[in-house]
Amino acid sequence: MQLLRTDKSIYKIRRRPYGDAAFPLKVRPLDDELLSSWLVRVALEHKTRPTTFTNLYLPETRNKLWAADVDLHADEELLVRLSVKAALPVEMLRSMTFRAYEGVLFERLYPATGGTPFVLRLAMRGRWSRAPGMRWCPQCLTEDEQPYFRKKWRVAIFTLCRKHRRRLVDRCACGRPLTLYKAKWDEGKPYCSKCGACLANVGHFRQKEDLESVINGQEQLQGIMGDGYVMMAGVPVYAHLYFAVLHQVMKLMLSKRYGALLREAIPVGDNQKIVFEIKRFQPLETLEIERQELLLQKGVWLLGKWPDRFIRICRTHDLFTSALLRDMKQAPFWYWRLIIDALYYPGLIGTEGEI
């Protein structure tokens, strides 16, 4: 028999192995909370470190659970186990992972490759996050009664906090990405495990006047996700098919051949041009948050007033079938049809360099 103590009292007499027992304390998920954030809060509620807690109550995941991206890799077996131990519906736990975005932001999740569109990568190595995939709003963490990390903060289309009109933070003041389960907590607030800085105090406010186009674009994309579809030239298009094309045009803006031309040609908003240089190709999901924000604005603008604006830009910069469909295994029909009708020139002779 083992006694499990808190700093106040003995609240549970352990008569069987931890692996067979439910969690003594029940912790409800908060609005839009990540599974990893909830697991950390459950462990802290039991006065235990996350790794120790999961090794005790989920011994089959020993030393493996936190070595990967929990929010991306949580499978059905793990969710069922957590459901039994936490007395929560499996559907609720599943909604805390990126599977909640299947059929909305992308067609399906790719946990094995980590190449799911718009899902920020942690690049776990040696049990540490090597990429700034865990973002947060410092002011939200300050105001939360129980500070926690939102699921939308780990999606590339959300680069700012609408409530506080500020850009999200993706690194500590020391420059390190956040490894959530290693963060230190004091008086309910998370602190960087490397330098000890309070994460609720990291970052700077942005001026209100430069946020309107970002807010409008982000709200437009959030509306598409909420509705599940968007009207393109009078035709309803499923949300995940719209986002597949948005991701494709953003990849083109990062390509070596067309990227610089497109980034210069496409304005931010209706008239403001902001140009930036990219020295080598990087997946959208690994870019700095400022560049993701600019590319999103340009991508939303390009797909606006469909299809006239898109056709004009493509013809001006010689973007035709091969470039527009490259690496798309199954191009959405509404996008493919336009390209075939308006941008397909089978008799076009290439330049000497292309040949």
pLDDT digits (tens, 9 = 90+) for 6-28: 444 334 445 568 888 999 999 99
Angstrom distances, CA of residue 50 to CA of 16, 43, 120, 349: 21, 5, 22, 61
Amino acid 279: pLDDT: 67
Amino acid 222: pLDDT: 94
Reduced to 3 states (helix: H, G, I; strand: E, B; else coil), residue 254 is: coil
Tokens of 214: 């970002």
CB-based burial of residue 182 (10 Å sphere; 0-12 exposed, 13-18 middle, 19+ buried)? Answer: middle
Q: What is the pTM of this model?
A: 0.88
What pLDDT digit, counting tens, does each position of 315-342 carry? 999 898 989 999 898 899 999 999 999 9
Tokens of 182: 């290693």
Write the secondary structure of 275-330 as one string of H (helix), E (strand) and C (coil).
CCCCCCCCCHHHCCHHHHHHHHHHHHHHHCCCCHHHHHHHHHCCCCHHHHCCCCCC
Maximum pairwise Cα distance, the chain:
81
Q: How far apart (Å, rounded) are the C-alpha atoms in residues 228 and 63? A: 38
- CA angle centred on 275, ends 271 and 277, rounded to 5°: 165
Query: Which residues is 2 bridged to in the sheet?
Result: 14
Amino acid 355: pLDDT: 45
| Cβ 40 vs Cβ 180: under 8 Å | yes
Quick one: DSSP state of residue 87? T
| Cβ 71 vs Cβ 34: under 8 Å | yes
Handedness of CA 136, 111, 287, 175 (dihedral sign): positive
Residue stretches of the chain with pLDDT short of 70: 1-16, 113-114, 204-210, 269-276, 279, 346-355
Amino acid 119: pLDDT: 96
Tokens of 55: 């090794």
Q: How far apart (Å, rounded) are the C-alpha atoms in residues 276 and 258? A: 14
| Contact residues for 179 (Cβ-Cβ < 8 A; gap 6+) | 122, 127, 128, 129, 134, 193
Q: How far apart (Å, rounded) are the C-alpha atoms in residues 59 and 285? A: 33
Quick one: DSSP state of residue 108? S
| Contact residues for 126 (Cβ-Cβ < 8 A; gap 6+) | none
- Domain definitions of the chain by residue range: 2-201, 210-342
